[in-house]
Amino acid sequence: MFRNDNTVFSPQGRLHQVEYALEAVKQGSAVVGVRSQTHAVLVALKRAPSELASYQRKMLKIDKHIGIGFAGLTSDARVLSNYMRQLALSSRMMYARALPLSRLMSALADRAQLNTMQYGKRPYGVGFLVIGVDDTGPHLYEFSPTGNCFEYYAMSLGARNQSAKTYLERHMDEFADVEVNELVVHALRALRETLPQNKDLERAAVSVAIVGPGANADPNSPKVREGQQFTLHEGDELAQWFDALGPKERQRAAQQAAQAAAASEQTGEQGTGDAAPTDAQAPMDEEN
């Protein structure tokens, strides 16, 4: 019974329905988010259900200053994204201002939490990476089916996300002060780490979203024209960033190891050549 009901704990104290929802997020295609002091970036790997179908959308625009990338059930993402759009629109109509991200994530977490504790409902089987800009600067949040929402400097969701997290942890100190183009390149390199060893990123299967300063400006002010609103880039628009990717981290490490091994072999050969005359001279010194 406890496996089919999300209000009954198992003998081990676990809610299996919540764990199943988390597993659905892990099975989704990868999404990577990073932020600097000025911008926030999302990159996502799109999937096609079959060779006859087009790629599915992995990013959704919530407002001019907010967007999401998701991993998991697309239908649940659509329901929650509509709810987030209603909150953003209500803020603009009632208060004439852009919705702060902290308030949006708090309301989203409350809604998801209810589905983990009410009989007859199920947890949402989708996870979000939410990027946006408000009066306090750029933000990157992770939303989990458990109802938890945390803010990050860099984060990854979906299949093989640990490989992307490893890259992000190694280069996290570089994100704060880099320009937006370099930030996108870092995010794409992290996304590439989630692929199998023999595969590389395909431009048609990648989406990139960027939001920057001024995205939350008042629509009636002249600053709105200068604002870098949430923008989605796909296809040929990604060429400049793909050209700057370079080799994978694993390939780069293998090349460095090979170069180090070759250098050590060369040093060893030189050392052996220098030592040979000394050994040959030793008997002659004894005879003299």
What is the pLDDT at residue 288? 40
Query: Residue range 220-236: average pLDDT?
Result: 83
What confidence category does residue 142 fall into, taking pLDDT thresholds of 50, 70 and 90? very high
Given a contact cutoff of 8 angstroms between Cβ atoms, the answer to whether 112 and 150 are in contact is no
Pick the CATH number of 16-246 from 3.60.20.10, 3.30.450.40, 3.30.1330.90, 3.40.50.300: 3.60.20.10
3-state secondary structure of 151: strand
* Position 287 pLDDT exceeds 70: no
What is the pLDDT at residue 284? 44
- The DSSP letter of residue 60 is E
Q: How far apart are CA 191 and CA 204, in angstroms?
A: 14
For residue 209, give the H/E element and its range: strand 206-211
Residue 107: CB atoms within 10 A of its CB come to 16
3-state secondary structure of 267: helix
Look at the block and give the residue holding tokens 């809604």. Answer: 111
What is the pLDDT at residue 26? 93
Phi, psi (5° rounding) for residue 35? -145, 150
Query: Residue range 22-33: average pLDDT?
Result: 94
3-state secondary structure of 185: helix
Query: Residue range 125-154: average pLDDT?
Result: 94
What confidence category does residue 241 fall into, taking pLDDT thresholds of 50, 70 and 90? very high
Please report, rounded to a whole number, the percentage of residues in the chain having pLDDT higher than 70.
88
pLDDT in tens, 168-208: 999 999 998 999 999 999 999 999 999 988 888 889 899 99
What is the pLDDT at residue 256? 65
The pLDDT mean for the chain works out to 86
Given a contact cutoff of 8 angstroms between Cβ atoms, the answer to whether 80 and 54 are in contact is no
Look at the block and give the residue holding tokens 């995205």. Answer: 215
What is the pLDDT at residue 280? 46
Query: Residue range 92-101: average pLDDT?
Result: 91
DSSP 66-82: EEEEEEE-HHHHHHHHH
What is the pLDDT at residue 124? 94
Given a contact cutoff of 8 angstroms between Cβ atoms, the answer to whether 45 and 58 are in contact is yes
* Position 285 pLDDT exceeds 60: no
Q: What pTM did the predictor assign?
A: 0.83
Domain boundaries, the chain: 16-246, 248-288
Given a contact cutoff of 8 angstroms between Cβ atoms, the answer to whether 69 and 31 are in contact is yes
Amino acid at 201: L
Q: Which residues pair with 41 in a beta bridge?
A: 34, 210
